Amino acid sequence: MLAMCFKKNYLTCILCLLSFVSFPQNIDSLKLALKNANHDTTRCNILNAMIETENDDNIWPGYNEQLLRLTKKNLAASNEFKFFYLKHQAGALNNFGFLMNQKGNISKALEYYKRSLKIQEEIHDKPGIATVLNNMAFIYSYQGDATLALDYYHKSLKIQEEIKNKKGIAIALNNLGLFYEQQGYRGKAKEYYINSLKIRKEIKDKLGTTSCLINIASITISFGDTANAIKYLEDCINIQTEMNDKIGMASSLNNLGAIYLWSGKYQLALEYTFKSLEISESFEDIDDMVFSYNNVSKIYVEMGNLNKAFLYANKSFILSQKLGFPGNITRSANTLKTIFQKQNKYKEALEMLEVEIKMRDSITNQNTQKAAIKKQMQYSYEKKELETKAEQDKKDVIAKAELIQKENERNYFIAGFSLVLILALFILRGYKQKQKANAIILEQKHLVDEKQKEILDSIHYAKRIQTALLPSEKYIHKNFKQLNKNL
């Protein structure tokens, strides 16, 4: 089976700042807005939007330099809006770190990243910290420092999960997939790529989707499934064409060339690889150029043109040494070794073999593999612990809510019962007062009745006396007649 140089896609999140003000994403409109801006805070936001909009690596760094100067000027003059300017300054430094990485100046890239990280930590900007940690991990990984790279990747992922940043989580998962693929754990790598792809599609992140498709294609071809690998890449190129993402297309075209090389279709392999190389050279993308040169060399080896093969392999080797990435140096040295063997230059072939082994061992030695497994287990354990704690916290909240509800119900019952009891006491008191009043009324009635009886009795007695004292009319008449006779 042919050895194949397949270019993975690395999404290191060039820009980490979110504009405080929304601006139209058109360079001409942004330039006009910048010209008419009347405050440096507005200028910073517009410059940041211009950096996001402009894809040309020869243009956006100029906007980034203006952004950095503005932040320095305002931070030196006053503490007003300090957080705002520090946040933009950290973003500008991170952007320059990415640029230096693209140009192969790794030491300068790390310098910028560290300066950016220091500011992010000072202002406690978690999204910014996660972004810079991810970018630094990318460099450490390709320098062969697997332990440090894995530590930074997991720190970045942990922060992204804490702040629930789906795009950041997807980036971290993608880069962890790259790391495990480099360490030889293809199954684990594919798992990370697929999980990243699911999130990309969910949030409709086209650029991220292409990144994942390229990396899944890389794993797929490593299992010998060329048909599906080509399908992944064709889907990827269609999206990149829609987006006019030429740099991304260079990577995808290079990978298609690699697959056709592996399949023995050398003319197609050359066609796609040279298309890729044309784009990467126009953008001076050294990393892509390294892969393309090496793939062109491999194609010429298979076609029997060793002179052209050496020319491109040597270009790839020189640029790989400039970048300082062991993986690139390993692949270029392997190609040169093959060429020297075919040319019967055994001394040179042995030298390249020694370089290849040294670089390969720096990436895949037993210690780094153990560190990767240990770190993954630690992360899985910490994540499980966090999930368990979150579940317990959820149960505690529910239990507390139920307890509060029961206490409320008890309090409501006591309050209701007390109210009923008080009402009953009022009713009882009223009833007793009514009974007492009725008793008084009854007693007064008896008294009245007795008085009335006494009065009536007195009246009857007086009447009897009166009747006894006063003679009747008949008696008077009789006595009056008697008197008249006597007269």
Which residues, other chains included, contact 108 with Cβ-Cβ below 8 Å and sequence gap of 6+?
A: 100
pLDDT of residue 78: 74
pLDDT of residue 104: 84
Average pLDDT over every residue of 273-285: 92
If one counts every other C-beta atom within 10 angstroms of the C-beta of residue 449, the result is: 10
Lowest average pLDDT, out of 53-67, 112-126, 344-358, 456-470, goes to 456-470
Given a cut of 70, whether residue 361 has pLDDT beyond it is: yes
Average pLDDT over every residue of 212-229: 91
Lowest average pLDDT, out of 224-238, 333-347, 352-366, 378-392, goes to 378-392
User: pLDDT averaged over the chain?
Assistant: 81
Q: Tell me the pLDDT tens digit for each residue of 133-157.
A: 999 998 998 788 888 999 999 999 9
Average pLDDT over every residue of 102-120: 93
Given a cut of 60, whether residue 323 has pLDDT beyond it is: yes
Reported as half-sphere exposure (CB side, CA atoms, 13 A), residue 343 has a value of 18
Q: How big is the chain, counted in residues?
A: 487
Cα separation, 291 vs 448, whole angstroms: 126
% the chain with pLDDT above 70: 72
pLDDT of residue 18: 33
Q: Tell me the pLDDT tens digit for each residue of 51-72.
A: 988 878 889 999 999 999 999 9
Token reading at 73: 């000027």
**Per-residue confidence band for 24, with pLDDT thresholds at 50, 70 and 90:** very low
Residue 432 corresponds to which amino acid? Answer: K
Looking up tokens 């220091």 gives: 118
**Per-residue confidence band for 327, with pLDDT thresholds at 50, 70 and 90:** confident
